[in-house]
Amino acid sequence: MARYRGPKQKVARRFKEPIFGPSTALERKPYGPGQHGRSRFTRKSEYAIQLDEKQKAKYTYGLLEKQFRNLYEKATRQEGVTGEVLLQLLESRLDNVVFRLGFARTRRQARQLVSHKHIVVNGQVVNIPSYQVKPGDVVTVRPKSRNLDLIDETLESYSTSKYKWLETDKKTKTGKFLNLPVMEEIPENINVQLIIELYSK
């Protein structure tokens, strides 16, 4: 199963954002990694800025290049603004929905829950992290997995009104994907227009 396995904190420091969750390394060293990390004289080209934004989106949602490119091409074929559709496709991935519903602390953790068959969609076990959840779909924790401490601890501190397009029932460990989110509702700090410009070249 393809995914990024390299150092997370170096990536977070590179983009100066905690894209993998809370980062003590980023708090201690709020500058880029390496000998030029503290340099104030790094001027990036337009292409480099666009590439960085695309890389940040890939790392944030846990995709590799081919997967991300395929999602972009799928977004261009659908009706609507390509940038918003791309973000909606990313947000609709099952691993991301499990993370947003509060069943996991991070997307990596959510991906593992899905891969290990702890998650059920509309009554059927789904173990494909890239599965596209549709409006109206009900996502639950598998009955055999409802006693996992990991899920209990995460749900305990989760705010059920955090995301308007989702509905979470902590008691039954059930969530519902109400509708596709609009761009303004998605909390990730991603300038999707830069990504569209990069792929449009």
Write out the DSSP string of 48-101.
HHHHHHHHHHHHHHT--HHHHHHHHHHHHHSSS-HHHHHHHHHHTBHHHHHHHT
Backbone phi and psi for residue 44, each to the nearest 5 degrees, phi listed first:
-95, 150
Cα separation of 182 and 165, whole Å?
A: 9
Q: Which two tokens stand for residue 56?
A: 């940040």
State how beta strands 119-121 and 138-141 pair. antiparallel
Local confidence pLDDT in tens for the 201 residues of the chain: 456 666 666 666 666 666 666 666 555 666 566 555 555 556 788 998 899 899 999 988 989 999 999 999 999 999 999 999 999 999 999 999 999 999 999 898 999 999 999 999 999 999 999 999 999 999 999 999 988 998 999 998 888 778 999 999 999 999 999 999 999 999 888 999 999 999 987
pTM attached to this predicted model: 0.84
Site of tokens 């150092």: 7
Within a 10 A sphere around the Cβ of 26, how many other Cβ atoms? Answer: 18
Whether the Cβ atoms of residue 137 and residue 91 lie closer than 8 Å to each other: no
Q: Would you give the end-to-end CA distance of the chain in angstroms?
A: 30
HSE-CB at 194 with a 13 A cutoff on CA atoms is 16
Burial (CB count <10 Å: 0-12, 13-18, 19+), residue 1: exposed
Strand, coil or helix: 6: coil
Structural domains of the chain sorted by starting position, each given as residue range(s) with its CATH number in brackets:
8-89+189-199 (1.10.1050.10), 94-179 (3.10.290.10)
